[in-house]
Amino acid sequence: MSSLVRSDRAPATSPVVVRCGSDGACAVLAWRPRPIDDGSPAPEEENEDAALVHNDGRRTVVAVADGAGGHIGGAQASRLAIEVLADALQRSDDSTDLRPFILDAFERANVGIRTLDVNAGSTLAVAEFDGSRLRTYHAGDSEVLVVGQRGRQLYRTVSHGPTAYAVEAGVLHPDDALHHDERHVISSALGFDELRIELGRFERLPDRATVVVSSDGLTDNLTTDEIIAIVRRGPLLGAARKLVELAASRMADAAGEGPSKPDDLSLILYRPRADRETLAAAIDSAALTTPPSPGGSAGGARSGSAG
């Protein structure tokens, strides 16, 4: 079952929680900033991000796509990317290896977005979980971060852009990158002339680890240390809310000392062994194909079928 999750037109701080595997869970949250004078997104416009949770009972795949190129075109591009990925996963059935299906989705989404002819593109970050193993795929600056319970960064993808490359090379401090003039520049994405798909090898995932898959609305407004401190332990629901609340406060405080880049924000937090509170709030992914009622567990999020 694959389910597409998108934000409502109003800000939301209540995650959708989905059971992933026997003991795992995902908290999914899509949010957009309130309008301010610098031209940040207005509430009547759609969130340009889209997110996916796919769970076939044995394996889980989660993904976040961030559209670029204008509100209408960006939203179309990110939704198409996620829908193509969902279709590919549905077609995989019980295949022992999802890699060719996921890579094919990147390629087909790239062609599909270019065919839209709306001068838009989309990032795409994918995390594939098979038992205690994690494999990542990405294009653009949506990221996958793995955090250990003791607060150690276990793994992180490298975004496709000059500031991320400079940080990786050790010539730019990560905190300075958050204030860099070119932090928004990316060199690869779906729909671009040049597409680079970064494929990670399978990594062992500790039971108590937390995986963060997000658009740059999170990573452009919080430092890595701040993200780690919030997600390393405690209820998954609370961590998702705290991340968005802190990012939202940064976006609204352009004059402050912290990073501030108003943008749509979508994130998925995954734990292979979730806390009791999260599991109690979790719903089956099949329920995401029906839009939640106002005031329900999904808060301001709405969802639609992606497969």
pLDDT of residue 296 exceeding 50: no
| In the chain, % of residues over pLDDT 70 | 82
Q: Tell me the pLDDT tens digit for each residue of 71-111.
A: 578 889 999 999 999 999 988 877 779 999 999 999 999 99
Q: Tell me the pLDDT tens digit for each residue of 230-278.
A: 999 888 889 999 999 999 899 888 778 778 788 889 999 999 988 787 8
pLDDT the model gives residue 166: 83
Confidence of residue 286 (pLDDT cuts 50, 70, 90): low
pLDDT the model gives residue 150: 92
pLDDT of residue 68 exceeding 70: yes
- Hey, CA dihedral for 25, 268, 129, 151, is it positive or negative? negative
- Whole-Å CA distances, 252 to 163, 229, 248, 278: 23, 22, 6, 29
Query: What CA–CA distance (Å, rounded) separates 203 from 258?
Result: 33
Q: Tell me the pLDDT tens digit for each residue of 160-215.
A: 888 878 878 888 888 777 777 777 788 899 999 889 999 998 999 998 899 999 99
pLDDT the model gives residue 303: 32
Q: Nearest to residue 30, comparing CAs of 214, 172, 189?
A: 214
Q: Tell me the pLDDT tens digit for each residue of 212-232.
A: 999 999 999 999 999 999 999
pLDDT the model gives residue 125: 98
